[in-house]
Amino acid sequence: MTKSLQDKVIIVTGAGRGIGREIALLCAGEGAKVVVNDPGGAADGAGSSASPAEEVVEEIKKRGGTAVANFESVAEAIPASKIVKTATDHFGRLDGVVNNAGILRDMIFHKMSVEAFEAVIKVHLMGSFYVSHAAARIFREQESGSFVHFTSTSGLIGNFGQANYAAAKLGIVGLSKSIALDMGRFNVRSNCVSPFAWTRMIGTIPTETEAEKARVEKIKQMGPEKIAPLCGYLLGDSAKDVTGQIFGVRMNEIFLFSQNRPIRSVQRSEGWTPQSIAEHGMPALKGSFYKLDRSADIFTWDPV
């Protein structure tokens, strides 16, 4: 069987554990040379260890694949650019980037610290920008390349206690679309994936109530290995016409998410006043208002 990523060079950030690890292993199994990036921090970003990235590289080599470890943080521009340099220094080119690295600092909004908000934005949103920006010049010159960015239903739909994470993850959607628009002329693709999987980060979800415990038990059924095939596909040549999209993966389900478009309008020839908006404009629009749903309110059926 033909390997879909034969001889391509792929960077996977946050690849020491969880979803990133499974993506790195799949890419290597599909013939790619993989840069396994992970500074080895805790779920909240604290600390560092070379072991997670090194262990994934060893596993890839044991299976007959090719990989190199990188321990830089994506949260600063210069270290992030060194991840891309690792790819070109070791393998001479770069074909794909998976922006998977992430941390969580959950807290209800009025109690969330500035530091907790900024830390999550730096890793998720700024990190995705820094790595993508460093790779973009290479993709531009060779007129090919694929970005896979990780978003979340916390941003796409909503969740409690995750203002930092939701803001970052919805920001990534805008970043991905802009890359797709700006770089499409150079055959560069950019897509988002929203994963449903049990990982170390999801392990920080509170389980104080029976409903929360039940929700977490359902999530535990969804292994991170289920996310990897779609990412492998999006990195390959068979996805050459797929760009600017938002996908979701939940066990064996693949979703295509909608994107923001106008759904209803009101018009008044003489213009509006605050009073006429209150009396006529807003009542006409209210029928189409979105409820304050959380992800679990939308995905009400069990994973299949």
User: Which among 130, 165, 233, 290 is annotated as catalytic?
Assistant: 165
Question: For residues 267 and 261, what is the distance between their CA atoms, to the nearest angstrom?
Answer: 18
Please tell me the distance from the alpha carbon of residue 261 to that of residue 276, in angstroms, as a whole number.
25
Q: Which domains does the chain have, with CATH numbers?
A: 9-256 (3.40.50.720)
Residues 149, 176: contact at Cβ < 8 Å? Answer: yes
Q: Which two tokens stand for residue 4?
A: 């879909």
State the Cα angle at 7 between 245 and 253, rounded to 5°: 35
Tens of pLDDT along the chain (304 residues) come to 789 999 999 999 999 999 999 999 999 999 999 999 999 877 767 776 889 999 999 999 999 999 999 999 999 999 999 999 999 999 999 999 999 999 999 999 999 999 999 999 999 999 999 999 999 999 999 999 999 999 999 999 999 999 999 999 999 999 999 999 999 999 999 999 999 875 555 555 556 777 767 666 766 677 889 999 999 999 999 999 999 999 999 999 999 999 999 999 999 999 999 999 999 999 999 999 999 999 989 998 888 8
DSSP string, 150-200: E--HHHHT--TT-HHHHHHHHHHHHHHHHHHHHHGGGTEEEEEEEEE---T
pLDDT at residue 41, rounded to an integer = 75
Claim: this prediction has a pTM higher than 0.85: yes
d(CA 191, CA 180): 8
Q: Is 165 a catalytic residue?
A: yes
**255: three-class secondary structure by DSSP:** strand
